[in-house]
């Protein structure tokens, strides 16, 4: 949660708790924070498709090798297959269900 979001939620809660209150000063702080906000870089969190395929195949291999229960094994294989397939052919997650 960013400082901007925290101030926004605080202002909204205050307006709901005290509808007759004057919270323009809090709205001004919120607007000032919105002007200076900068998005954080997502570059360090990106993972290549090759790494995702490798991770999916590793999940499949681990599920086949370590799972004693058939359901746990099937779940691990399913999860690994989903990761690998989404890495090779990315689609919207809601369409993947």
Question: How many structural domains is the chain composed of?
Answer: 2
Domain containing residue 37: 3-42
Is 38 found in the same domain as 51?
Answer: no
Compute how many other C-beta atoms are within 10 angstroms of the C-beta atom of residue 66: 10
Whether residue 62 is found in the same domain as residue 88: yes
Q: Is 77 helix (H, G, I), strand (E, B) or coil?
A: helix
The answer to whether residues 64 and 87 belong to one domain is yes
Q: What is the spatial distance between Cα 14 and Cα 19, in angstroms, rounded to a whole number?
A: 8
pLDDT bracket for residue 1 (50, 70, 90): low
Q: Evaluate if residue 88 carries a pLDDT over 80.
A: yes
CB count in 10 Å sphere of residue 7: 18
Asked whether residue 53 falls in the same domain as residue 26, the answer is no
pTM above 0.85, yes or no: no
Tokens at 18, concatenated: 């005290």
Q: To which residue do tokens 């809660």 refer?
A: 13
Examine the domain organization and report whether 56 and 89 are in the same domain. Answer: yes
Q: Are residues 23 and 37 in the same domain?
A: yes
> Residues 61-72: pLDDT tens digits?
999 887 788 898
Residue with tokens 């090779």: 88
């Amino acid at each position: 949660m960013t400082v901007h979001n925290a101030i926004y939620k605080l202002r909204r809660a205050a307006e709901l708790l005290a509808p007759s209150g004057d919270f323009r000063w809090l709205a001004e702080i919120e607007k000032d924070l919105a002007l200076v906000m900068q998005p954080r870089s997502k570059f360090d969190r990106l993972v290549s498709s090759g790494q995702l395929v490798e991770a999916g195949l590793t999940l499949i291999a681990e599920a086949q090798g370590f799972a004693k229960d058939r359901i746990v094994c099937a779940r691990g294989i399913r999860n690994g297959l989903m990761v690998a397939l989404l890495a090779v052919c990315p689609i919207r997650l809601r369409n993947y269900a």
